Structure 1
């Protein structure tokens, strides 16, 4: 019978010698964890694939020694050293990582599934992760892992491994859409990733934060099992690190906890990324877990096929949410477009760019200061209008490259201006949405006559002149703004949802 021996390694522990007892074994795709009394022993499987190699005893020894060192950053009192599993018949001894055994009932996953209030635990977890990130080394090798090219490579590796499986677990069309959406986001967000690297947001982190590996003890959480087999996968944006846990909590049915842990981490890390990047990283993490579940399914795990499909579905949902959009909210004066644009932006996390505001800013005026001009003259001449729209597009270009969606609040009566906005969206790999707010003429005129404290200088004469000169807008979806604001905004959001869904299918 094999025995535990602890005599041969510098970091060997001095715990008891076990030759018998009741052992409970847990299995992952790359390891076995044996629970025996007050301790746990982890043994690597002799597996080899594109992202890890534990095929020899020496490689498993190095991996466990590395795991011991790296995990001490998060839970130094849990990782106790390296032991050996010896064979009386003379086979090479197998290295084991010896750990303090923690109660299953205190796993974050168990608490989350039970619906328990884990607010205090999540605060502590987020702060521990932020602290490890704060004291991470920053060197070229680490910083390179935060670049767009590095993330693109990690996405490509996961997609390649999913497509190379000996039998499909996930619908190939779903994998294709994940690939297309993730690539499109990366293609248009160069300045975002450059900024993240410049801000030293790339860290030597955990790499695989999952609720099953976090124990919420009375004296604070213990975070276990960081990714040790590939430094390049553990070097990552700190936001990516915490989004792994957010993804897992959401998968467990705790969207509230997922959002809370991200928000708490961002506060602790003094970070303010665009929401699209949060969704992108959650999608990436869900794709990684989908791949792992596929591997487990091929190893015979009965529940892993459903896990893989569900994680792929979660990835797609967040890739849709991460879609960067440029929305033209237009229409004649008095149609309610500014009100709809503001609420639409608030609901989607977008930035509003208003032609009325920008026009006056360019003239050095307070946006709320009235400035009436004859139609087509002064502040509303063709040249000023062209300059205003050019500035709107210039500002939008920087925002979408930084991962921020934009809502243009303007009349958009000129087809050439609309085409320039579409071109910007295409070049920025964002989704263009066009909404025309419409109401009966009598409603518009009544609103113009009774309007107070508005940045708009539109009058009845302006409305009538624009009505005569406006060109048809066949590419816009018309939204009636004659009812309540809520009804108009919901209609506009429905237009957006349909456009975002279509953007993920290149065949449409």
Structure 2
């Protein structure tokens, strides 16, 4: 195979590889469609199997913490295990759909050759059958991760989306992020061991891969955002805009408020199912009562999801105009909710300005990711945060 046609070589030279990646995604999906399946293969796609692989890799890099890797490894561990522990239904459904295959297992850009008559993929993982038996999306995520390592994350994302389309795989975005993070962490482990064997340059690569893993784990964290407030404060508008902006499912308040004992919790049951399947959720309801907020927190906790609580607010005169009330009406008790119980956990979203301003504030509160550790490097070809 000509070295000049390696995918890694073409990427490093700045050549356009969009067409090659599209064809490669189709080739990989076709390979997975006819790949070996069965009980032994499917067992490797379970949540328990993935937890085991994470645990093995974390144990193998423990001695490199603070020496090659950073203290951020602890956050990587927490986010990775939390995601898998809360997504048992998602992984079970993937197994049931036949998504777990005897795949390639080591899809690096160095081993892909882009020829005139189509791509060639070499060097599958052979030393451990179980490590090759993975979810097809996990297999494809290896190359997406490697393209990001090479400084072209948008190409990696485009390849993964093309693969999902060819494989007819409507997996949640969170699962895309998780598998890319897992593959990055595996390669970080490999780089750590290369460093221990005398490869001084491998330390930079290990920290770069650690950054990629942590960034994707943060991006893929499953969230429940509850958006509340008294009538006329704009909660429904904010909730809808926020769900669209962040690509989350939207659940309205129907059925949430019933008898004094807490009423129906069907919407929360629905939210819990979505969270367990890897979908983040925005819930639009008044959330006037602390009992309902506690129920939402329990739902998030049971699904190992983050909860973000937002309360919309606006001045009385504006709320009254929105509700069509006159200044002589008994407005404040109606508009601001005399029975609205204190909500100190919520971030207040002022909706008295433009929709864009309220959405920006809500989006910032709903995605409160801290900056990555300063000494985890950027790839020189990647844009800054």
TM-score of the pair, normalised by structure 2: 0.90
The equivalent of 1:248 in structure 2 is 146
Instruction: Return the alpha-carbon distance in structure 2 between the equivalents of residues 341 and 145 of structure 1.
Output: 38
> Does residue 1:280 correspond to 2:156, yes or no?
no
How much does 1:299 deviate? 1.9
> Does residue 1:231 correspond to 2:129, yes or no?
yes
CA spacing shift, 1:444–1:200, aligned 2, 3 Å = same
Instruction: Return the alpha-carbon distance in structure 1 between the equivalents of residues 98 and 334 of structure 2.
Output: 54
* Residue-by-residue CA offset, 1:9-67 (whole Å, 9 max, x unaligned): xxxxxxxxxxxxxxxxxxxxxxxxxxxxxxxxxxxxxxxxxxxxxxxxxxxxxxxxxxx
The equivalent of 1:453 in structure 2 is none
> Does residue 1:484 correspond to 2:354, yes or no?
yes
* Residue-by-residue CA offset, 1:132-163 (whole Å, 9 max, x unaligned): 11001211110000000010111011001101
> Does residue 1:161 correspond to 2:60, yes or no?
yes
Equivalent pair of 2:103/2:136 in contact (CA under 8 Å) = yes
The equivalent of 1:425 in structure 2 is 300
Equivalences for residues 78-93 of structure 1 within 5 A: none
Q: 1:347 aligns with which of 245, 251, 269?
A: 245
- Aligned to 1:429, what secondary structure does the other structure show? coil
Equivalences for residues 170-249 of structure 1 within 5 A: 170-171=69-70, 173-249=71-147
* Residue-by-residue CA offset, 1:147-180 (whole Å, 9 max, x unaligned): 0001011101100110145993112x22221111
Equivalent pairs, count:
368
Equivalent pair of 1:445/1:460 in contact (CA under 8 Å) = no
Q: 2:197 aligns with which of 299, 303, 318?
A: 299
Q: Which structure: greater strand fraction? A: 1
The equivalent of 2:37 in structure 1 is 138
- Aligned to 2:72, what secondary structure does the other structure show? helix
* Residue-by-residue CA offset, 1:93-140 (whole Å, 9 max, x unaligned): xxxxxxxxx222211122223333212101111111111110012111
Q: 1:110 aligns with which of 1, 5, 9?
A: 9
Instruction: Return the alpha-carbon distance in structure 2 between the equivalents of residues 416 and 494 of structure 1.
Output: 26
* Residue-by-residue CA offset, 1:296-324 (whole Å, 9 max, x unaligned): 11222232110000100110000101111
- Aligned to 2:324, what secondary structure does the other structure show? helix
* Residue-by-residue CA offset, 1:171-200 (whole Å, 9 max, x unaligned): 2x2222111111111111110010000001
Equivalent pair of 1:327/1:432 in contact (CA under 8 Å) = yes
> Does residue 1:316 correspond to 2:214, yes or no?
yes
Q: Gapped runs of 5+ residues in structure 2? A: 372-385
Equivalent pair of 1:209/1:241 in contact (CA under 8 Å) = yes
CA spacing shift, 1:299–1:144, aligned 2, 3 Å = same
CA spacing shift, 1:485–1:166, aligned 2, 3 Å = closer
* Residue-by-residue CA offset, 1:432-488 (whole Å, 9 max, x unaligned): 1101111112222222339xxxxxxxx997971762111111110111111222221
How much does 1:331 deviate? 0.9
Equivalent pair of 2:45/2:95 in contact (CA under 8 Å) = yes
Instruction: Return the alpha-carbon distance in structure 1 between the equivalents of residues 211 and 13 of structure 2.
Output: 23
Instruction: Return the alpha-carbon distance in structure 1 between the equivalents of residues 66 and 227 of structure 2.
Output: 47
Equivalent pair of 2:231/2:335 in contact (CA under 8 Å) = no
Q: 2:337 aligns with which of 462, 467, 479?
A: 467
Equivalent pair of 1:332/1:463 in contact (CA under 8 Å) = no
How much does 1:343 deviate? 1.9
The equivalent of 1:45 in structure 2 is none
* Residue-by-residue CA offset, 1:241-300 (whole Å, 9 max, x unaligned): 111111111222212211111111111111111111110001000001101111111222
Comparing 251-260 and 461-470, the one that deviates more = 461-470
The equivalent of 2:269 in structure 1 is 394
Q: 1:122 aligns with which of 21, 25, 38?
A: 21
The structure whose Rg is larger is 1
The equivalent of 1:436 in structure 2 is 311
Instruction: Flag the structure with more relative contact order, 1 or 2, with Cα contacts below 8 A and sequence separation at least 6.
Output: 2
- Aligned to 1:478, what secondary structure does the other structure show? strand
How much does 1:423 deviate? 1.2
The equivalent of 1:409 in structure 2 is 284
The equivalent of 1:148 in structure 2 is 47
The equivalent of 2:323 in structure 1 is 448
Instruction: Return the alpha-carbon distance in structure 2 between the equivalents of residues 209 and 324 of structure 1.
Output: 27
Instruction: Return the alpha-carbon distance in structure 1 between the equivalents of residues 308 and 225 of structure 2.
Output: 5
How much does 1:385 deviate? 10
